[in-house]
Structure 1
Amino acid sequence: MYEYRKLTAQQKAEIVRQRLANGYPPHSPPHHLTNYEFYLLTATCFEHKCRLNSEPRRQQILNLLWENFIDIDITILAWVVLPNHYHLLVKNVDFKKVTKTLRLIHGKLARQWNLEDNLTGKVWHSYSDRGIRSENHYYATINYIHYNPVKHGYVNSPYDWQESSVHWYLKYEGRDWLRSCWVEYPLRDYGKGWDSI
């Protein structure tokens, strides 16, 4: 995303032309129509700015995601909301409904937060999706989501971050299950390079 800004007008036009020729949107991430049962959805604040910079804001978006995804029959299986992005592991994805729903949620919150912060401009940079390809990928994704606050340096333990499904899994599956999942499905390079995109 940031490399694009360094390109000449001609280079930018060529990239947009190639994206359109491949059936992709000109600037936002493409949403492939491959049918996976599960997807990792990631939404990022524009320029990675920390607009989700308080627990009430993170809880607000989490509540809106839950309410609206229930309405469109999408199940959220794991989640984390950080100061500048969030991840959701979901089931039963209809991308037309997801796109419309996230556009509404993000638009509502952008307006509200810009008013609260006395700012103008873009708050969100669309969203991306990754199909979950195997059982290993599924459980590694849960680990990735739960470890994300530690990865980004916000806390020393996943259990210290409130806006995360790690607490749900701790309550309903137990600490032994979480430890076993962590050992059996290691992260390795999961997510490497995503932040530079």
Structure 2
Amino acid sequence: MYEYRKLTLKQKAELVEQRLSRGYPPHAPPHPIQDAKFYLLTAACYEHKSYMHCQSRRQQLLNMIFDKFGDEDDGEESAKALTTNIMISAWVVLPNHYHLLVQVENFEVLGELFRKIHGFTSRRWNLEDNVTKRKVWYSWSDRAIRSQRHYYTTLNYIHYNPVKHGLVTSPYDWVESSVNWYLQVYGREWLRDCWVKYPVKDYGKDWDDF
């Protein structure tokens, strides 16, 4: 979205035409792979503004995900259960975006899930801030998980995200993250071994290498 604004009118038209020719929406993130088992899902606040600047709002978002749309799962196969079609394996909520590592049986349910979550939180936070018609969320994107290495590197990336953005010096210091769930269930040694075996490094580049 932000690079698009820098383009000339001609460049914008060419880009939109190219996206349409590939079957993508003209501006929203495309979802080309819908038959994978696991995905990294990412949603960002509009223009990356920190609308989740306080812990209470980040917790509100997690409550929407875990309480309103599913029940907790006490098993060790995944961290939380969202619905019968979606299992969340890892999560992190930051001031201006969040990530979920999920197992999906029916990709089509995701769009409705995000519409409900973002619609509810937008209305609530706009009321709290006494503003009307403010756009809180931009959109959501997905990345299909390609391998076991990709999966565990993604898990480490999610847990390291608060450190990456300079919010804390240790992943364990960020409350709105699944890292402490993993710490309780699997232990610090498991997390350390996972980090050594699947380092984040320049995660996000050359995805197909995973």
Question: Does the CA-based 8 Å contact 1:39-1:93 persist in structure 2?
Answer: no
The match for 1:87 is 99
Cα shift readout 1:143-194 (whole Å, capped 9, x = no counterpart): 000000000000000000000000100000000000000101111100369x
CA RMSD after TM alignment: 1.6
Paired residue secondary structure (1:95)? coil
Task: State how 1:63-102 maps to structure 2 within 5 Å.
Answer: 63-66=63-66, 67-68=68-69, 70-102=82-114
Tell me the distance in 2 between the aligned counterparts of 1:93 and 1:61.
23
Tell me the distance in 1 between the aligned counterparts of 2:127 and 2:26.
29
Q: 1:172 aligns with which of 168, 185, 194?
A: 185
Tell me the distance in 2 between the aligned counterparts of 1:150 and 1:162.
12
Question: Does the CA-based 8 Å contact 1:72-1:97 persist in structure 2?
Answer: no
Tell me the distance in 2 between the aligned counterparts of 1:125 and 1:38.
23
Question: Does the CA-based 8 Å contact 1:44-1:127 persist in structure 2?
Answer: yes
Q: 1:105 aligns with which of 117, 137, 143?
A: 117
In the alignment, residue 76 of structure 1 is paired with which amino acid?
Answer: I
How many residue pairs align between the two structures? 193
Tell me the distance in 1 between the aligned counterparts of 2:69 and 2:27.
26
TM-score (norm 2): 0.87
Gaps spanning 5+ residues in structure 2: where?
A: 71-81
Gaps spanning 5+ residues in structure 1: where?
A: none
TM-score (norm 1): 0.92
Between 1:149-158 and 1:68-77, the stretch displaced more is 68-77
The alignment status of 1:10 with 2:4, answered yes or no, reads: no
The match for 1:40 is 40
The alignment status of 1:134 with 2:135, answered yes or no, reads: no
Q: 1:156 aligns with which of 169, 183, 200?
A: 169
Structure whose residues are more often helix by fraction: 1
Cα shift readout 1:17-55 (whole Å, capped 9, x = no counterpart): 211111001111101234221100000011110011111
Cα shift readout 1:118-145 (whole Å, capped 9, x = no counterpart): 2342111111111111111111111000
Identify if the C-alpha distance between structure 1 residues 133 and 192 changes in structure 2 by more than 3 Å, giving closer, same or farther: closer
Shift >6 Å, 4+ stretches: none
